[in-house]
Structure 1
């Protein structure tokens, strides 16, 4: 009968190193999952438009599209963002130990209210697919902002801050900057897409001109 395997000291050290190397990737994956465990909730809120031709549908969009500023838009992306934050006092200071977002993104898109003639349906399907793809990019910009806020929040600390007022003030400064960046990116994206020859401009021309 084989006897117990004792092994040398060097062999036991190698085995411990091997086990640690096997565990490290698992721990890394677990950390990644914990940091990115939240997911945005995405909703589509259609508004009804009507018409038998591309130009009639576009005119209906102009009358019924979501109000943005002083006019109406073809589509619009909005979001609601709330946070669950854990501020902890540590030795007279304060640290923001965790910050978990709840993000709801809403896409307001036009929807034909009834059956369309075959050619109009072809034009409309291409148009609405392009418009939705455009709005989804706005959604991606919003999600990117929230991830940056999360990264800028967790671990934020200040000394001599028993009421966490310094941490909250610094957090607001960071949030303001990231919010302004998100708006700038969205405006720049719209400027490019809606300019003459831009993607949205081409989608509108194809719908209206029957191309």
Structure 2
């Protein structure tokens, strides 16, 4: 599951007339937490104890967190304001479990398959976040307001558009997790394959 924070940074100033541009950067890092166990059940129990927090009482096997920021440049002319450039920054952090002890070849094989599935799940969250940024960029193209010499109305419109895109993609993130975590879903199959003796 993902957690998102939205921040908007303003780049004030007048720029030369040009079509609105977007230059989103994506920065990704990966963290791990150590678990120990000689059986699949022991590894699952260790992830339940040590995994990244999701809410106040639950822990996840793995997690994708991201923050989004924007820097805007404006063009003002004759009292009107136009968004000339929107630079987005998507910071993503993946957190995964890592076995800290030696395990049997059979358990290592099951762990490798389990971990591959977990990684695919988290990378789907990351892909949705990147799609969110591309959609937000497109929604900002051509944004302008008349009678807006300080660009306040245009900024408010940009924030509304970004927030609407964010809400749409957050709903997709939640739906994806519901499908993956439901009884008989992919995550249950992954755990079942790991704990099978």
Q: Could you say which residue in structure 2 is the equivalent of 1:25? A: none
Deviates most, 86-95 or 129-138? 86-95
**TM-score normalized with structure 2 length:** 0.85
The structure with more strand, counted as a fraction of residues: 2
Matched, 1:123 2:110: yes
Q: Could you say which residue in structure 2 is the equivalent of 1:11? A: none
The correspondence for 1:165, drawn from 152, 174, 190, is 152
- Do the aligned residues in 1 keep the contact of 2:22 with 2:86 (CA within 8 Å)? no
Separation in structure 2 between the aligned mates of residue 69 and residue 186 of structure 1, nearest angstrom: 16
Residues 51/36 of structure 1: CA separation in 2 closer, same or farther (3 Å cut)? farther
User: Who wins on radius of gyration, i.e. which is larger?
Assistant: 1
Higher relative contact order (CA 8 A, sep 6+): 2
Matched, 1:61 2:63: no
Q: Could you say which residue in structure 1 is the equivalent of 2:31? A: 45
- Do the aligned residues in 2 keep the contact of 1:98 with 1:155 (CA within 8 Å)? no
Separation in structure 2 between the aligned mates of residue 89 and residue 58 of structure 1, nearest angstrom: 58
Counting matched residue pairs gives 177
Q: Could you say which residue in structure 1 is the equivalent of 2:162? A: 175
- What SS does the aligned partner of 2:82 have? strand
**TM-score normalized with structure 1 length:** 0.79
RMSD: 1.6
Q: Could you say which residue in structure 2 is the equivalent of 1:195? A: 182
Gaps of 5+ in 1: 1-34
Gaps of 5+ in 2: 1-20
The correspondence for 1:91, drawn from 78, 88, 101, is 78
Task: For residue 135 of structure 1, report the CA deviation from its aligned partner.
Answer: 0.3
Q: Could you say which residue in structure 1 is the equivalent of 2:61? A: 74
